[in-house]
Amino acid sequence: MENKIYGLLAEFDTTTEIVVAAEKVRDAGFTETDAFSPFPIHEMDEALGIKRSILPYVVFAGGIAGLILGLGLQYYTHVIDYPIIVGGRPHFSLPAFVPPAYEMTILLAGFAAVFGMLFMNGLPKPYHPVFNVPRFNLATREKFFLLIKADDPKYDYEETKAFLESLDPQEVFDVDE
Amino acid sequence: MANDTFKAPESISRLSNLFLGVGGIFTLIWAVGCYTDTENALRGWLLGYIFWAGIGFGGLGILLLQYLTGGAWGVVIRRVVEACSRTIPLLALLFIPIGVGVKYIYEWANLPDDKFVAARGIYLEIPWWGGRAVLYFLLFGLMAYLLNKWSRQQDNAASYEEAAMHLGTATRFSGPTMVIFVLLVTFLSVDWTMTLEPHWFSTMWGFLFVAGWGLSCFCFSVAILAYLHDKAPLDRVLGKRHFHDIGKLMLALVMVWAYFNFSQYLIIYSGNLTEETPYYLVRSKGGWGVMGLLLIIFHFAFPFLILLMQDFKRKAKWLAALAIFILFMRLVDMYYIIGPSPRIGELKLHKLEVAFSVTPWDFVAPIAVGGLWLWWFFRELSKRPLVPHKDPFFENAIKHGKGH
């Protein structure tokens, strides 16, 4: 029975080899790519042409939202809904409002960082086709894998496979959908 | 690279001479002021001294810190902060006008019978106050001497094992010494600045100065490293990665400074006690109030938001420009502490409003102290290799320097 192909996976033995290969893949114009390694490779983002994440802006927006929410909550409770004098201070005493507002800023920025990261990484993901390749388990130990997905505009089974073979990998696998 | 000496470029010596000239001329102008306008001239000197001494003492603190934490930033910044720490003998000399003119700067020195001053007993009398100053310089001087000695021995080390041994010695020394350093800065900042307001007290004071002086020294070091980063020999050492790391630490210290300052304010605001509030009442009215607002915006909010950006921290020149701006705000911060404090004869008035004022000596004296300090600093910087090239972590610290 013919299976649908998710993409092509090339296996490499060292960081240097996969970074060099990734640069060639990027220069060949492939965009739907991914790399898997047992530890972070600093050069990989640039080698694969991965764009900078927008996560920092999401975190900043989360922080601002927390700040406004924190100040707003205190303003509503202390000034509008139930104004009472505490410690001889005015109803709207900004210095006393700062610590809770600050905590809300940190809280929502933290939430934005964690959940934004999970969302942008597409996690949680219970199924991923690369695990159909038995040797892929080595990605958590000693091998490095480079993936070109079938939905890449430049993808063509025969040509891409020949191209990956030319990058001098240890082996190229078909990844079943 | 093994045989490289990493000698400082020629321009460092020229800078040193230039600053000696500037410092000399402004010190002479200031000396004239000592005769014509003694009190203001000495208050100006105190402002300049506290600002520049902060970089020198801060250098010692950062030196201890980088031995304790390790990391590439510590290896590339070490020789700059070592040179800062070697200015302590000069700082002892520059303290003489403050020690001699104590009765022109500190109201308590004239009021031994004041209830508050008398209650502080022998601790706040001139002999013991001066004795403590001598003690600070001796202890700081000893710390700086030992750390610099081990660092020089490391440069002359014959083998990797010997170099690693000297690093180990310095690291073991830095742990307990860091505790003593913070305690000394606490006592010192209380003696030299908090007693300007002898009726007032704040338990945050020491931390304010530890954080503020650490920030001063970091900003100063960034400016120096940015100046050196495109010249031989450091153009092969310093990379974006190092400025990125130092920029992150600057961001942390900007936040710590704001945190301590706000803590002090919030405690006094919430406590609402008669002895404590005048400090901020005076500083939140008129010109001083505007100055306080400018400090919140330009000493905290503006650098904080700028330093959040990753790209900014990776550009040496931009980071240095911001560092020099923060250094200027550090000076403003010191003036915000010193400027509104009661002048001689004013303590008994218990003023709750002080007109904003600034004298020419508040500009002349910081330039005079700064010129002399920078002369000494650049002279010391050029005496040794600009990086600890025998350090066991040196190769690791400069690896990937250009790329990251």
Spacing of C-alpha B54 from chain mean position: 2
Does A98 contact B262 at a Cβ distance shorter than 8 Å? yes
Set of chain B residues whose Cβ sits within 8 Å of the Cβ of A87: 270, 272
- Whether the pLDDT of residue B94 is over 50: the answer is yes
Q: Does A64 touch chain B (CB under 8 A)?
A: no
Set of chain B residues whose Cβ sits within 8 Å of the Cβ of A89: 272
Is cis: bond before B233, omega within 30 of 0? yes
Q: Does A99 touch chain B (CB under 8 A)?
A: yes
Work out the minimum CA distance from B302 to partner chain A, whole angstroms.
15
- pLDDT-above-90 percentage for chain B: 52
Q: Are B48 and B369 in contact (CB under 8 A)?
A: yes
Q: Does A124 touch chain B (CB under 8 A)?
A: no
Work out the minimum CA distance from A96 to partner chain B, whole angstroms.
7
Strand partners, A172: A10
Q: Does A56 touch chain B (CB under 8 A)?
A: yes
Strand partners, A175: A7
Q: Cα–Cα distances in Å, from A47 out to A15, A42, A52, B400?
A: 12, 9, 13, 15
Set of chain A residues whose Cβ sits within 8 Å of the Cβ of B265: 95
- The region of weakest confidence among A5-9, B184-188, B286-290 is A5-9
Model confidence at B2, pLDDT cuts 50, 70, 90, reads very low
Q: Are B147 and B192 in contact (CB under 8 A)?
A: no
Is cis: bond before B9, omega within 30 of 0? no
pLDDT digits 0-9 by tens, A103-132? 999 999 999 999 999 998 888 888 888 787
Number of CB atoms found within 10 A of residue B264's CB: 19
Q: Show Cβ contacts of residue B350 under 8 Å, excluding neighbours closer than 6 positions.
A: B278
Q: Are strands A33-36 and A5-12 parallel, antiparallel or unpaired?
A: unpaired
The C-alpha atoms of residue B280 and residue A7 are separated, in whole angstroms, by 67
pLDDT digits 0-9 by tens, A30-89? 787 888 888 887 777 777 777 788 899 999 999 999 999 999 999 999 999 999 888 788
The C-alpha atoms of residue A87 and residue B268 are separated, in whole angstroms, by 13
pLDDT digits 0-9 by tens, B224-257? 999 888 877 777 778 888 888 899 999 999 999 9
The whole-number average pLDDT for the span A5-22 is 81
Work out the minimum CA distance from B256 to partner chain A, whole angstroms.
14
Q: N- to C-terminal Cα distance for chain B? A: 20
Q: Does A42 touch chain B (CB under 8 A)?
A: yes
Picking from B261, B269, B300 by the largest number of A CB atoms within 10 A of its own CB, the best residue to mutate is B269
**Residues A132, A137, A139, A140, Cα dihedral to 10°:** 140
Longest dimension (CA), chain A: 81
The C-alpha atoms of residue B72 and residue B388 are separated, in whole angstroms, by 11
B-chain residue closest to A95, CA distance: B266
Picking from B261, B270, B283 by the largest number of A CB atoms within 10 A of its own CB, the best residue to mutate is B270
pLDDT digits 0-9 by tens, B253-270? 999 999 999 999 999 998
Set of chain A residues whose Cβ sits within 8 Å of the Cβ of B403: 43
- Whether the pLDDT of residue B308 is over 60: the answer is yes
Of A43, A56, A87, the CB nearest to B270: A87
Coil, strand or helix at A27: helix
Say what the pTM is. Answer: 0.86
Instruction: Report helix angle B126-155 to B160-192, nearest 10.
Output: 160
Q: DSSP label at A81?
A: I
The C-alpha atoms of residue A128 and residue A133 are separated, in whole angstroms, by 11
- Whether the pLDDT of residue B3 is over 60: the answer is no
Q: Does A92 touch chain B (CB under 8 A)?
A: no
CA within 13 Å, CB half, A134: 0
pLDDT digits 0-9 by tens, B340-395? 988 888 887 888 888 888 898 999 999 999 999 999 999 998 888 888 887 878 77
Work out the minimum CA distance from A44 to partner chain B, whole angstroms.
12
To the nearest whole number, what is the mean pLDDT of chain B? Answer: 89
Q: Are B394 and A36 in contact (CB under 8 A)?
A: no
Coil, strand or helix at B130: helix
Strand partners, A176: A5
- Whether the pLDDT of residue B292 is over 50: the answer is yes
Does B308 contact A60 at a Cβ distance shorter than 8 Å? yes
**Residue A72 in tokens:** 């707003």
pLDDT of amino acid B402: 43
Of B266, B308, B400, the CB nearest to A95: B266
Does A43 contact B403 at a Cβ distance shorter than 8 Å? yes
pLDDT of amino acid B115: 84
Set of chain A residues whose Cβ sits within 8 Å of the Cβ of B269: 93, 95-96
Does A95 contact B269 at a Cβ distance shorter than 8 Å? yes
Work out the minimum CA distance from A95 to partner chain B, whole angstroms.
6
Q: Show Cβ contacts of residue B204 under 8 Å, excluding neighbours closer than 6 positions.
A: B260, B261, B263, B264, B267
The whole-number average pLDDT for the span B293-308 is 93
Of B262, B269, B404, the CB nearest to A42: B404
Q: Could you give the ipTM of this predicted complex?
A: 0.74
- Whether the pLDDT of residue B175 is over 50: the answer is yes
Amino acid making up residue B375: W
The C-alpha atoms of residue B250 and residue B58 are separated, in whole angstroms, by 13
Work out the minimum CA distance from A73 to partner chain B, whole angstroms.
20
The C-alpha atoms of residue A68 and residue A74 are separated, in whole angstroms, by 10
Set of chain A residues whose Cβ sits within 8 Å of the Cβ of B272: 87-89
**Nearest by Cα to A147 from A31, A3, A39, A29:** A31
pLDDT of amino acid A6: 82
Domains and CATH numbers, chain A: 5-52+129-176 (3.30.70), 55-120 (no CATH)
Domain ranges of chain B: 10-398
Work out the minimum CA distance from A99 to partner chain B, whole angstroms.
9
B interface toward A at CB cutoff 8 Å? 262, 265-266, 269-270, 272, 308, 310, 400, 403-404
Picking from B268, B296, B305, B308 by the largest number of A CB atoms within 10 A of its own CB, the best residue to mutate is B308
